[in-house]
């Protein structure tokens, strides 16, 4: 049997590979628009990993590829980690999230139906909650009123997966990610700030007034939680879990200061005036982890520890490339 | 100024026209896949109504049509009532709801952005709630796990509208419809049962065991609630309301008996054995109307009254065509 990872050359998926490759044949599908083969280099000699460059929003081709994979090795699990990761670009141009974040889900589900693959694991997002105005976002919160097209198309994907679980999937497990940090970073506030500061070592411009506060989970904890829930045994056939650290998060100003201290000590930080960095940004977000913690899982790192580790890791990553 | 009604030749939209045509120029867009020009006949001589046969899931053409309308008469409101209404067909073929229920929303929103139209009224659905296992479905309920692609694509549309309200809409008002009955009926349990019984006047086959219980709102009450909320003045820029009758609903067996009594008294009713009529059906659904009732609106008819009136109306309608 085999595991298919959609968007498998991207940041989070690459961190799943070590686990999956221990016992499984793994097929990585990725259009390399944001992922990179560089991230797969360490597995170049591993016969259990097969990379296929593929556009997942193409319905016919996706059905074809899944059929070919299933003929080689029956598909036991599909992990859908492909999405647009540039939320702001998706606000300007809704067709980006329509195609990359949502139509990918549609095409993957139809391809799974064709070959009879029945277990689907999905990278959803806290962005589906929109602006909860400080109220804790729990899995039982509603209404779900996302404020970005990214959040809207993650919510749309959840809906399709839920319906598919009624009709042909055995498992539709949806993980609502917080902000996730670590390497190989491709985007995100730490990545952006480090890049900016490398270009101009004396000053750092920060979007927003620095008071925006968010939870950050290290990718190692995220991967741990996803696999823990997959194997937990007491999830529903369709189920949804918030995943995150157990704290109130970290302010953007703290991240900016950590980046400055690591990359260019003494650089001046220039903040904006708004409590939102951009349309679709939420100034303060509180994430309920009660459902996840009730399963017995715990994160190893706090938001602050995750940010500090990721600043180190991304500084090294950006020095290498 | 003008009002654009998308899917305007369909069942519910036609019932809005009397109200809209009193004070407004109205443009009806419809691809006539389920709607019919017959329903617009009574307005044939009304200079304020303009019908345009149009496929709303075509992005470029929708932008073009909205531009042309806006040049004639600045678009003040857009009502999106277009959707696939055959839920079962959408379960079999997800591309139907993808195109008719969801991509229409995407295309309309982009067309509105182009011309600067800022008020959007949307026919959402109780189907977004999925199977709440008897718990009352309120606007603050979560998670939203639809069990049909129809429900999934209504949820997806809500997400897009919500995001658009953050970015360029002034009003994104989402009405979550219950089962709605009345004329001109194009589908639904009453319509199906009457048609079946006209074909075979001695026996009536009913999907499911007849115990499925649902709320039914008469379309006159639905139209009343939508216009009431539009004019209420205290909705949020993005807001969502359950609309329905204030009762526990009616069993399918009651509907079947009402149909038999009206259309072919004495006919034998044959029930199935499942408490679900089809994949995507929910046996018992409880709908919270607290938010709606707090605005002061009340329905005129109960579920049972609505069903009885609609059985009369649809019997007449099906005798005419």
Strand-pairing partners, residue A175, are A123, A241
CB–CB contact A152 B167 (8 Å): no
Residue A283 predicted with pLDDT over 70 = no
Per-residue pLDDT, B6: 98
pLDDT tens sequence across B252-276: 999 999 999 999 999 999 999 887 7
pLDDT tens sequence across A76-106: 999 999 999 888 899 899 999 999 999 999 9
Could you give the C-alpha distances from B257 to A179, B179, B261, in angstroms and in order?
Answer: 55, 18, 6
Residues in B touching A130 (Cβ below 8 Å): 162, 166
Per-residue pLDDT, B278: 61
With left for phi above 0 and alpha for psi between -120 and 50, is residue B162 left, alpha or beta? alpha
Residue B88 predicted with pLDDT over 90 = no
From chain A residues 275-314, the ones with a CB under 8 A of any chain B CB are 279-280
Count of CB atoms situated within 10 Å of the CB of B138 = 18
Mean pLDDT of A149-178: 97
Rounded Cα gap, residues B264 and B202, in angstroms: 7
Reported as a pLDDT band with limits 50, 70 and 90, residue A320 is confident
Reported as a pLDDT band with limits 50, 70 and 90, residue B110 is very high
From chain B residues 81-100, the ones with a CB under 8 A of any chain A CB are 91, 94, 98
CB of A163 less than 8 A from some CB of B: yes
CB–CB contact A144 B142 (8 Å): yes
Strand-pairing partners, residue B298, are none
Rounded Cα gap, residues B118 and B169, in angstroms: 4
Determine the residue among B152, B176, B277, B287 to mutate to test chain A binding: the one whose Cβ has the most chain A Cβ atoms within 10 Å: B152
What is the chain B residue with the closest CA to A160? B152
Q: What angle do CA B284, B151, B318 make, to 5 degrees?
A: 75
Residues in B touching A94 (Cβ below 8 Å): 106, 109-110, 160, 163
Strand ranges (DSSP E) for B230-303?
A: 238-242, 250-251, 268-271
Per-residue pLDDT, A282: 64
Per-residue pLDDT, B193: 96
CB–CB contact A110 B128 (8 Å): no
Q: Contact at 8 Å (CB) between B314 and B191?
A: yes
Helix (H, G, I), strand (E, B) or coil at B287: strand
Residue B295 predicted with pLDDT over 90 = yes
Rounded Cα gap, residues A218 and A180, in angstroms: 6
Per-residue pLDDT, B23: 87
Per-residue pLDDT, A276: 72
The better pLDDT of the pair A115, A248 is held by: A115
In which residue are the tokens 């968010």 written?
A214
Count CB pairs under 8 A between chains A and B: 129
Strand-pairing partners, residue B179, are B216
Per-residue pLDDT, B87: 87
Q: What distance in Å separates residue A1's CA from the closest CA in chain B?
A: 27
Count of CB atoms situated within 10 Å of the CB of A212 = 24
Reported as a pLDDT band with limits 50, 70 and 90, residue B283 is low
Q: What angle do CA A163, A169, A173 make, to 5 degrees?
A: 80
What is the chain B residue with the closest CA to A282? B166
What is the chain B residue with the closest CA to A148? B163
Per-residue pLDDT, A280: 57
Percentage of chain B exceeding pLDDT 70: 97
Strand-pairing partners, residue B6, are B29, B80
Residues in B touching A166 (Cβ below 8 Å): 91, 130, 147-148, 279-280
**String of DSSP letters for B135-194:** S-B-TT----B-SSHHHHHHHHHHHHHHHHHHHT-SEEEEEEE-EEE-SS--SSHHHHHH
Residues in A touching B163 (Cβ below 8 Å): 91, 94, 146-149, 151-152, 280
Residue B321 predicted with pLDDT over 70 = no
pLDDT tens sequence across B138-196: 999 999 999 999 999 999 999 999 999 999 999 999 999 988 999 999 888 999 999 99
Reported as a pLDDT band with limits 50, 70 and 90, residue A26 is very high
The better pLDDT of the pair A87, A218 is held by: A218
Instruction: Please tell me the pTM assigned to this model.
Output: 0.93
Rounded Cα gap, residues A150 and A278, in angstroms: 13
Rounded Cα gap, residues B267 and B270, in angstroms: 10
Mean pLDDT of B301-306: 96
Rounded Cα gap, residues A82 and B215, in angstroms: 39
Mean pLDDT of B44-71: 97
Helix (H, G, I), strand (E, B) or coil at B67: helix
Using CB atoms, pick whichever of A138, A152, A160 lies closest to residue B163. A152
Orientation of helix A189-199 relative to helix A303-320, angle to 10°: 50
Could you give the C-alpha distances from B51 to A77, B6, B16, B184, in angstroms and in order?
Answer: 49, 10, 14, 18
Three-state SS string over B87-119 comes to: HHHHHHCHHHHHHHHHHHHHHHHHHHHHHCCCE
Q: How many Cα atoms occupy the beta-carbon half-sphere of B87 within 13 Å? A: 24
Q: Contact at 8 Å (CB) between B7 and B35?
A: yes
Residues in B touching A144 (Cβ below 8 Å): 142, 144, 155, 158-159, 162
CB–CB contact A152 B144 (8 Å): no
Residue A23 predicted with pLDDT over 90 = no
Rounded Cα gap, residues A107 and A120, in angstroms: 13
Q: What distance in Å separates residue B109's CA from the closest CA in chain A?
A: 10
CB of A106 less than 8 A from some CB of B: yes
Per-residue pLDDT, B277: 66
Name the residue among B192, B206, B194 with its Cα closest to residue B269. Answer: B206
Residue B263, phi then psi, degrees to nearest 5: -100, -40
Rounded Cα gap, residues B244 and B215, in angstroms: 7
CB of B23 less than 8 A from some CB of A: no
Name the residue among B198, B189, B143, B47 with its Cα closest to residue A140. Answer: B143
Per-residue pLDDT, B281: 63
Per-residue pLDDT, A281: 63
Residue B299 predicted with pLDDT over 70 = yes
Q: Contact at 8 Å (CB) between A211 and A275?
A: yes
Using CB atoms, pick whichever of A106, A141, A147 lies closest to residue B162. A147
Orientation of helix B149-167 relative to helix A149-167, angle to 10°: 170
Count of CB atoms situated within 10 Å of the CB of B291 = 15
Rounded Cα gap, residues A88 and A150, in angstroms: 9
Rounded Cα gap, residues B293 and B203, in angstroms: 41
Token pair listed for B205: 């086959």
Rounded Cα gap, residues B75 and B117, in angstroms: 6
Q: What distance in Å separates residue B167's CA from the closest CA in chain A?
A: 7
Residue B104 predicted with pLDDT over 60 = yes
Average pLDDT, chain B: 94
Residues in B touching A163 (Cβ below 8 Å): 91, 94, 146-149, 151-152, 280
Residues in A touching B147 (Cβ below 8 Å): 162-163, 166
Determine the residue among A57, A97, A130, A162 to mutate to test chain B binding: the one whose Cβ has the most chain B Cβ atoms within 10 Å: A162
Rounded Cα gap, residues A313 and A241, in angstroms: 27
Token pair listed for B245: 């009758």
Token pair listed for B267: 């006919």
Mean pLDDT of A283-289: 79
Strand-pairing partners, residue A302, are none
Rounded Cα gap, residues B227 and A115, in angstroms: 47
């Amino acid at each position: 049997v085999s595991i298919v990872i959609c968007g498998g050359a991207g940041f989070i998926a690459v961190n799943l590979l070590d686990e999956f490759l221990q016992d499984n044949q793994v097929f990585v599908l990725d259009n390399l628009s944001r992922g990179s083969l560089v991230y797969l280099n360490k597995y170049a000699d591993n016969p259990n990993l097969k990379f296929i460059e593929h556009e997942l929003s193409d319905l016919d081709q996706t059905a074809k590829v899944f059929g070919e994979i299933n003929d080689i090795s029956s598909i036991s699990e599909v992990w859908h980690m492909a999405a647009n990761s540039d939320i702001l670009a998706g606000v300007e141009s809704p067709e980006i999230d329509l195609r990359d974040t949502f139509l990918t889900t549609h095409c993957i589900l139809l391809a799974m139906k064709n070959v009879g693959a029945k277990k689907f694991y999905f990278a959803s997002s806290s962005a589906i909650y929109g602006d909860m105005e400080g109220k804790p976002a729990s899995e039982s919160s509603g209404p779900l009123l996302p404020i970005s097209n990214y959040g809207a198309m993650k919510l749309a994907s959840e809906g399709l997966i839920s319906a598919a679980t009624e009709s042909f999937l055995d498992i539709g497990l949806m993980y609502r990610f917080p902000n996730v940090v670590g390497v190989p970073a491709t985007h995100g506030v730490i990545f952006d700030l480090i890049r900016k500061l490398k270009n101009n070592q004396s000053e750092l411009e920060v979007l927003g007034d620095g008071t925006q506060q968010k939870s950050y989970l290290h990718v190692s904890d995220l991967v741990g939680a996803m696999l823990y829930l997959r194997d937990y045994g007491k999830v529903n056939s369709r189920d949804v879990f918030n995943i995150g650290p157990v704290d109130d998060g970290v302010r953007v100003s703290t991240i900016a200061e950590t980046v400055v201290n690591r990359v260019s000590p003494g650089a001046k930080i220039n903040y904006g005036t708004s409590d939102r960095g951009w349309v679709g940004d939420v100034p303060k977000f509180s994430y309920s982890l009660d459902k996840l913690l009730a399963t017995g899982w715990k994160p190893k790192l706090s938001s602050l520890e995750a940010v500090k580790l990721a600043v180190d890791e991304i500084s090294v990553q950006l020095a290498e490339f």
